[in-house]
Amino acid sequence: MNKWNYTNEPDFILMGLTDSKEVQLALSVLFLLIYLVTVLGNTGMILIIRLDAQLHTLMFFFLTHLSFLDLSYSTVITPKTLETLLTSNKNISFTGCLIQKYAFVLLAAAECFLLYLVIMSTRLCHVLLTGSYMLGAMDSTVNLLCMRTLHFCSSNIIPHFFCDTSAILALPCSDTYNIQFIIFIFAGFTLVVSLITISSSYVSILSTILKIKSTSGKQKPNKSYSLGKDQGASILYTIVIPMLNPLIYSLRNKEVKSAFIRVVKKREVSLVMVLSI
């Protein structure tokens, strides 16, 4: 049986979501629309916050980075997914697969620490932001180093639409228990730290508001790999949620709506002045 790793790798083949041409076309249109809304929503959010001085606060500083992360990790996944849906090219190089996975884990892990934070000072704000990116980089680096040690057999077909950890770990012919354990430990550390951060903010809120119902959490997937459920969950957090976050955290905010109106009016006035010259 032939073995190979990152030193002599062939291309991986992404199986994608479906073999039906009709469903592929429908999904490609849907994902393209979602991606366009994601780009417009998150880019618009960043621009509004940058252009309006009244939004230059610590909370909106974090929301700017949240929009950046949503835009970035959606861009890491969606364009390649659209390519596999619209064309016959389902190949992705081993290096490309690792880069996609590294970028996604870094961005997704960093985002965990940006949600529901209570910021007390500008210095603490920058410390938490830097820590978010550093922890994300640490988590993704561990994933990358683990994947580089894998030895694959004859199969190079990934049963997924992107280079997800569970899908890649289903391919090696060698035992992956130690690698799974290491990844689980670091992912668990990221999860625990992010939940502690989130819980701390809730404790602060509960000190003034006695009753708040909140159901927030993450669960490690079952040991058995369920392709359908895993892909459904992956679509939700890689494609759909980056589109919804600007609506949930920012665009419904009255301050953001007022800032949007101010920015538009300011640009209209500037345009009129230019045309009148």
Looking at the whole model, is its pTM more than 0.75? no
Domain annotation covers residue 124? yes
Domain annotation covers residue 105? yes
With a cut of 80, say whether residue 145 has pLDDT above it.
Answer: yes
Domain annotation covers residue 175? yes
Tens of pLDDT, residue by residue over 218-253, are: 444 444 444 455 677 778 778 888 888 888 766 667
Q: With H, G, I as helix, E, B as strand and everything else as coil, classify residue 51.
A: helix
pLDDT band (50, 70, 90) for residue 75: very high
Compute the average pLDDT of residues 98-120. Answer: 72
Tokens of residue 123, six digits: 């210095």
Among 9-23, 72-86, 131-145, 196-210, the minimum mean pLDDT is found in: 196-210
pLDDT on residue 34: 94
pLDDT on residue 245: 80
Sign (positive or negative) of CA dihedral 149, 150, 153, 158: negative
| Cα gap 21→273, rounded to integer Å | 52
pLDDT on residue 214: 42
Task: Identify which has the larger pLDDT, 23 or 111.
Answer: 23
Which of the listed ranges 8-12, 18-22, 219-223 does the model predict with the highest average pLDDT? Answer: 18-22
Burial code (b: 16+ CB inside 10 Å, e: under 16) for 227-259 equals: eeebbeebbeebbebbbebbeebbeebebbeeb
Domain annotation covers residue 271? no
Nearest to 18 by CA among 69, 78, 90, 72: 90
Number of compact structural domains in the chain: 1
Which of the listed ranges 84-93, 126-135, 189-198 does the model predict with the highest average pLDDT? Answer: 84-93
Tens of pLDDT, residue by residue over 176-186, are: 778 888 888 87
Q: Give the CA dihedral 196, 199, 200, 201, nearest 10 degrees.
A: 130
Tokens of residue 109, six digits: 């892990």
Alpha helices in the chain (DSSP H): 21-51, 58-86, 94-112, 122-148, 165-168, 177-206, 227-235, 241-246, 254-276
Edge-to-edge strands of the sheet including 12-14? 91-92, 12-14, 157-158
Beta-sheet pairing, 12-14 with 91-92: antiparallel
pLDDT on residue 29: 93
Domain annotation covers residue 266? no
pLDDT on residue 224: 42
With beta carbons less than 8 A apart as the criterion, state whether 235 and 85 touch. Answer: no
Domain annotation covers residue 167? yes
Residues 6+ apart with CB under 8 A from 55: 48, 49, 255, 256, 259
Domain annotation covers residue 67? yes
Compute the average pLDDT of residues 196-220. Answer: 48
With beta carbons less than 8 A apart as the criterion, state whether 158 and 180 touch. Answer: no
Domain that holds residue 152: 12-252
With a cut of 60, say whether residue 6 has pLDDT above it.
Answer: no
Look up residue 87 and give its DSSP letter: S
CATH number of domain containing 136: 1.20.1070.10
Sign (positive or negative) of CA dihedral 146, 149, 151, 157: positive
